[in-house]
């Protein structure tokens, strides 16, 4: 049985994305992964994976693993929190490299989220990936892998610059999936990996904010491949790299499928005091000649005062 749904909620500072794309049930276990993820060369891609298990009251130990299906190679491995960390690094601390690409854990084990992020994508990363969880109470892996599609880059990652207090627009332009239903647009902060805002599609082409503050405004039309979003009242702490995650769903033969399009953009915020310093530069340049003129006038005034005093002393006394 395969079902799809996207549940997004916040736990601490991380986003747990439970994507019910391809879902399997085995002996009281379940695992859900995205059917397809589309990203660009040089950018980043999040591969969602969530699971449930029947023994919810036990202390869990074990590992989270990701495999590349074609080569059957292990690309990521981290240790589930527990008393024994001898099998590898803790998932919350691990950053691993393979072939020049970075693999980073961005899930939330409190919510049984085993998602990872692949950074520095190359065309060779386009492949099928399998999520695998091995715990002391059992194991489960995704039967249908996630298909990562890496598109050739059309340029460098966009960089948007703004001044504290102003507004900027984060671009998110993508090729739409006309055969599927557009459901959500989510913006994530890349490092640390945190949820920023989620917009959900409503009837008649309208969108509503599901999670996020009131500083964010969806100004593009996602139906036309534009999910650009404006950030108002910029803050210095907005200075980060962001991921735009566009979700599509489809249904075929009573099965639900989920597709993600991911784009990356950098935001650089300049403190509002910086322009004042720039404006002061011309004054600094003019100060030395003004000082010289003041010294000359002062000397002339002093000499004039001395001349008057001499004249007064030379006058005949009555």
Q: Which run of H or of E encompasses 102?
A: strand 101-105
User: Per mean pLDDT, which range of 4-13, 51-60, 192-201 is the poorest?
Assistant: 4-13
pLDDT at 243: 96
Residues 6 or more apart whose Cβ sits within 8 Å of residue 157 = 42, 43, 241, 264, 265, 266
Alpha helices in 88-225 (DSSP H): none
291-316 pLDDT, tens per residue? 766 676 666 555 545 454 454 445 55
Q: 14-19 and 45-47: which strand pairing?
A: unpaired
pLDDT at 54: 78
Residue 221: pLDDT band (50, 70, 90) is: very high
102-152 pLDDT, tens per residue? 888 898 877 888 999 999 999 999 999 999 998 887 888 888 899 999 999
The residues pairing with 243 across neighbouring beta strands, listed in sequence order, are 188, 264
What phi and psi values does residue 204 have, to the nearest 5 degrees?
60, 30
Domains of the chain: 6-270 (2.60.40.10)
pLDDT at 128: 97
Question: Is residue 200 within 8 Å of 150, Cβ to Cβ?
Answer: no
CA 46/CA 111 separation, integer angstroms: 17
> Encoding tokens for residue 222?
């996602």
Question: Is residue 2 within 8 Å of 25, Cβ to Cβ?
Answer: no
Residues 6 or more apart whose Cβ sits within 8 Å of residue 97 = 103
59-115 pLDDT, tens per residue? 777 889 999 998 889 999 888 765 554 555 777 666 665 555 588 889 887 788 899
DSSP 1-70: -----EEEEEETTEEEEEE-SEEEEETTEEEEE-SEEEEETTS-EEE-EEEE-S-TTSPP-EEEEEEETT
Higher-confidence residue of 220 and 203: namely: 220
Higher-confidence residue of 58 and 38: namely: 38
pLDDT at 20: 43
């Amino acid at each position: 049985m395969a079902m799809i749904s996207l549940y997004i909620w916040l736990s601490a500072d991380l986003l747990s994305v439970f994507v019910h794309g391809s879902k399997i049930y085995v002996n009281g276990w379940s695992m859900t992964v995205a059917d397809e993820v589309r990203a660009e060369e040089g950018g980043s891609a999040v591969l969602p994976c969530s699971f449930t298990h029947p023994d919810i009251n036990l202390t869990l130990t074990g590992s989270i693993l990701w495999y590349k299906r074609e080569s059957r190679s292990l690309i990521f491995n981290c240790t589930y929190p527990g008393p024994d960390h001898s099998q590898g690094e803790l998932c919350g601390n691990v950053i691993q490299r393979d072939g020049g690409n970075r693999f980073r854990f961005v899930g939330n084990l409190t919510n049984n989220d085993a998602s990872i992020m692949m950074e520095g994508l190359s065309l060779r990363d386009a492949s099928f990936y399998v999520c695998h969880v091995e715990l002391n109470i059992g194991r489960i892996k995704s039967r249908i892998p996630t298909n990562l599609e890496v598109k050739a880059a059309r340029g460098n990652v966009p960089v948007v610059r703004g001044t504290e207090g102003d507004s900027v627009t984060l671009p998110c332009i993508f090729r739409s999936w006309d055969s599927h239903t557009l459901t959500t647009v989510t913006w994530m902060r890349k490092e640390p990996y945190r949820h920023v805002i989620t917009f959900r599609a409503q009837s008649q082409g309208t969108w509503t904010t599901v999670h996020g503050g009131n500083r964010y405004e969806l100004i593009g039309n996602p139906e036309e491949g534009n999910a650009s979003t404006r950030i108002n009242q910029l803050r210095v702490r907005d200075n980060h790299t962001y991921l735009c995650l566009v979700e599509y769903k489809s249904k075929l033969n009573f099965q639900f499928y989920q597709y993600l399009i991911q784009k990356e953009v950098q935001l650089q915020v300049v403190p509002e005091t910086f322009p004042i310093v720039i404006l002061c530069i011309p004054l600094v340049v003019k100060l030395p000649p003004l000082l010289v003129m003041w010294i000359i006038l002062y000397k002339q005034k002093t000499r004039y005062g001395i001349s008057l005093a001499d004249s007064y002393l030379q006058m005949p006394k009555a």
